[in-house]
Amino acid sequence: MAATPPSSWQLFLSTFCRNKGAVLGFIVLALMVIIAILAPAIAPHDPYELFTGQEQLPPAFLDGGNTMFWLGTDDAGEIHYLE
């Protein structure tokens, strides 16, 4: 009894997995898609909104930081991680 040849899907998958560049490219693409889907949860604020009275805040993990602004704010009161 002869062994059945691999299907085209199995052949593609085994060839793809051996190509390290293709696997790395797929991982980067998948991460970008996940970040794009989660973008409203990651950055819920309007990027053009100015937070008056909240200018030049340090990052949240330093003294004087605010948890609403993870990486702090700039001179105009814009959030750093949205820039």
* pTM (2 d.p.): 0.63
CA angle 53, 69, 37 (to 5 degrees): 135
pLDDT at position 82 is: 64
Provide CB contacts within 8 A for 71, sequence distance 6+: 59, 60, 79, 80, 81
SS3 78: coil
- Structure confidence by residue, pLDDT tens digits, 3-54: 888 899 999 999 999 999 999 999 999 999 999 999 888 888 777 778 888 8
Position 81 confidence tier, pLDDT thresholds 50, 70, 90? low
Asked whether residue 1 carries a pLDDT value surpassing 70, the answer given is no
pLDDT at position 73, please?
A: 84
Residue 40 is predicted with a pLDDT of 87
